[in-house]
Structure 1
Amino acid sequence: MTTQTSPLQRHPANPVLHEDDIPWDCMSVFNAGVCKWENGYIMLFRTDSGPRAHPDAYLTRVGLARSQDGHNWDVDPEPIFDQQKIREWLKSQYDVRFGDKEVVRVYDPRITMIDAEAYFCFAVDTHHGIRGGIAKSTDLRNWDLLHITLPEDRNMVLFPERVNGKLIRLDRPFPLYLRGGRESFDIWISESPDGIHWGEHKLLLAAEEIPFGNAKIGPGAPPIRTEKGWLTTFHAVMKHEDKELFTWSEGTWNKEYIAGLMLLDLENPAKVIGMSKEPLLRAEAPYELEGFRGSVIFPGGFILEDDGIVKMYYGAADTVVALAEGKLEDLLNTIEPL
């Protein structure tokens, strides 16, 4: 694969979180959400367990890690959610039937600080569809459930502050029936006064608008506010019909996941005002090319530091968590006005 020129540079300590760092049995740790917390950083991450070629969905967990520098992480000894904990939590806060045997797992966490509270977005697999959820907490262990979507929806992220008094959400519904079974899904935006009631759903970005993908797209990490607009990551999928990519999983794998970058209007974030026509980051390093699903870059954390450096945390090959850093100015310079 040809080496690209990117405004982001991979951290030399990559991967920053690996299965060997996790105090419970797992075969991968990836798709983490990261944000600033008190005087350091926190990370909510996903682990999968079971055979490398076919992990057991019932063993997926969400864990918590902490860091002082954003590079070196200490993992809490117990996960926040495993299957038993998530079922008990959803049963007590949402619905007895939903929490009992309906839920398979919770995964792919995103985390955003809003008004000194941590907001946790997640996907939840059920026996009647994939749904998205939102919860909030002040201590990272006790979570108040705010919202569960209808099926089929996932990849939800929240903006780190209210816009015009409203919470803003990006997500990725996937209407297979309407698309004739094709994986061609888009990014949508909606708003809420309280995190519970959501409306004003609008199409934000369509899959066919991405020059470096030919299949589905979806949100990445929570956006960051800049003077020019909301700098926002997303993931795009390039499906390679002519070749197979590396995978531990059963069967073949031909989907390359690529990180992209767009700019949204500060006062009207439903308006895309710019986009990088080239990938922000695509798989090149060995830990990105080889793993459970090779050639996968999936952004989950996006942090702007006081010195103008941007940290992007991403899942690599659905196997590890990695970090890339760059200057805000350089990222903004990749944006072409629309």
Structure 2
Amino acid sequence: MFKIERLNSGKPILEKESNNLWENKVVFNPACVLVDDKEELGQIIESIKPDKETLQRIQSHRAICFLIYRAQGKETKNFDYRRSSLGLAIFTPDLKLIKRFSEPILKPEEKFENLGVEDPRITKIGDKYFMFYTGYESGKEKNKINICIAETKDFLHWEKHGTLKGKLNDVDNKNAVLFPEKIYDKFVLLHRPMEGENPMKIHFATADDILGEWKDEGVLIDVEVNPEFSKSWNGAGAPPLKISDNKFFMLYHIGNFKKDGTREYDLGIAVVEKNEKSYLKLVKKFEPFMRPETEFETIGDAELGVNNVLFVCGSYFYDGYLYFPYAGADSVILGGRVPKDEILTWALS
């Protein structure tokens, strides 16, 4: 139904870097932002001060993809680099690497994230970019999984705002994704509580202010029963893309337990629309949109033992395509694209 093209001949667009302790094991779960405004790109360049070669390569493109990814290294005597950090890389719009930064942009330094900063999603509001990420926190009886917030204007320098306010973090919660605009005067956030009422499904929440109190509004996308698997769940993926005055396109993930006890993570797509009574309403969905098939999607790092996983945290439309960098088997970052007209024909029909 959809012509999914795996970029770079299905090989990684970003892999582990053996010389960097914090990312010498795996890189995965990438957020991405496409910047196509010349003035804004100039301000970012001025702020991050790239070397001459990088500057020339950036300036040779009319848009640039900033990719923020999760990375893990190996345990050392001084620090356990199995605790995830976030890194930054710059790509062309069609996902060819321009520059990779040698130091992480976010480290697990605060109490609420001391076991790892994970799975970023980024949305632009006004002149700032807000990143919602997972903070993995150590606990006496049980470790805690928190939704956390940071902001930036240049993707290199970030200000942390701590954990999300309200009751959403009363339970383990993750997969937080902010809509690109207010809906009926409210900011809207997708999230996936792991406990409590209707767990392991895509919920949404509303707030008057991004840094204010968030209120859960219930399930937006329920889990579809698939007889191929013994159990399934879902979670938000990339920030929604606006495709009409009242509709948004979404990429998300579906987790499954196979009958032999192993897991498979697929991708799904959905269309949601504004609704006066409930803020948002699911219009349609299609799953699986994409399943693990290639070597890098089906076989992960041998020690970690994660196989058959696709995971997406960002996407954008550019030059007639929907582009989406994604993780393969929690080990590498791959690139995909689909013709935009195929997406819109399905989404708006």
TM-score scaled to structure 1, two decimals? 0.80
Do structure 1's residue 322 and structure 2's residue 302 form an aligned pair?
no
Deviation string 1:67-117 (CA, Å, 9 cap, x unpaired) is 23342221112111233xx33xxxxxxxxxx36xx7221111112222121
Does the CA contact (< 8 Å) of 1:112 and 1:159 recur in 2? yes
Q: Which residue of 1 aligns with 2:85?
A: 61
- Structure 1, gaps ≥5 residues long: 88-97, 244-253
How far apart are 1:294 and its partner, in Å? 1.0
Rate the CA distance shift 1:166–1:256 in 2: closer, same or farther, 3 A: same
SS in 1 for 2:289: coil
Q: Which of the residues 120, 126, 131 maps onto 1:120?
A: 131
- Structure 2, gaps ≥5 residues long: 36-40, 42-62
Q: Which residue of 1 aligns with 2:58?
A: none
Do structure 1's residue 10 and structure 2's residue 22 form an aligned pair?
no
Does the CA contact (< 8 Å) of 1:23 and 1:75 recur in 2? no
Do structure 1's residue 27 and structure 2's residue 36 form an aligned pair?
no
Q: Which of the residues 66, 69, 73 maps onto 1:49?
A: 73
Q: Which of the residues 317, 320, 325 maps onto 1:304?
A: 317
Q: Which of the residues 185, 205, 216 maps onto 2:220?
A: 205
Deviation string 1:230-289 (CA, Å, 9 cap, x unpaired) is 00111111211236xxxxxxxxxx11000001101046652101111x311110011001
Q: Which of the residues 120, 124, 135 maps onto 1:109?
A: 120
Q: Which residue of 1 aligns with 2:48?
A: none
- How far apart, in 1, do the equivalents of 2:18 and 2:91 lie? 13
- How far apart, in 2, do the equivalents of 1:172 and 1:114 lie? 22
Does the CA contact (< 8 Å) of 1:275 and 1:336 recur in 2? no
Q: Which residue of 2 aligns with 1:141?
A: 156
Q: Which residue of 2 aligns with 1:189?
A: 204
Q: CA RMSD in A?
A: 2.7
- How far apart, in 1, do the equivalents of 2:283 and 2:197 lie? 28
Rate the CA distance shift 1:7–1:166 in 2: closer, same or farther, 3 A: farther
- How far apart, in 2, do the equivalents of 1:48 and 1:207 lie? 32
SS in 1 for 2:290: coil
Q: What percentage of aligned pairs have identical amino acids? A: 23
Q: Which residue of 1 aligns with 2:299?
A: 290
Do structure 1's residue 82 and structure 2's residue 119 form an aligned pair?
no
Rate the CA distance shift 1:112–1:22 in 2: closer, same or farther, 3 A: farther
Q: Which of the residues 132, 135, 138 maps onto 2:147?
A: 132
Do structure 1's residue 255 and structure 2's residue 279 form an aligned pair?
no
SS in 2 for 1:34: strand
- How far apart, in 1, do the equivalents of 2:32 and 2:341 lie? 22
- How far apart, in 2, do the equivalents of 1:32 and 1:62 lie? 9
Q: Which residue of 1 aligns with 2:233?
A: 216
Q: Which amino acid aligns with 2:290?
A: L
How far apart are 1:23 and its partner, in Å? 4.3
- How far apart, in 2, do the equivalents of 1:326 and 1:286 lie? 20
Does the CA contact (< 8 Å) of 2:65 and 2:95 recur in 1? no
Q: Which amino acid aligns with 2:325?
A: Y
Bigger drift between 15-24 and 285-294 goes to 15-24
Q: Which residue of 2 aligns with 1:161?
A: 181
Do structure 1's residue 331 and structure 2's residue 348 form an aligned pair?
no
Rate the CA distance shift 1:76–1:178 in 2: closer, same or farther, 3 A: same
SS in 1 for 2:343: helix
Q: Which amino acid aligns with 2:25?
A: M
Q: Which residue of 2 aligns with 1:93?
A: none
Rate the CA distance shift 1:275–1:63 in 2: closer, same or farther, 3 A: same
Q: Which amino acid aligns with 1:281?
A: M
- How far apart, in 1, do the equivalents of 2:126 and 2:19 lie? 31
The 5-angstrom pairing of residues 229-268 of structure 1 reads 229-242=247-260, 254-266=262-274
- How far apart, in 2, do the equivalents of 1:164 and 1:173 lie? 24
- How far apart, in 2, do the equivalents of 1:7 and 1:204 lie? 30
- How far apart, in 2, do the equivalents of 1:127 and 1:259 lie? 30
- How far apart, in 1, do the equivalents of 2:16 and 2:189 lie? 31
Q: Which residue of 2 aligns with 1:172?
A: 192
TM-score scaled to structure 2, two decimals? 0.77
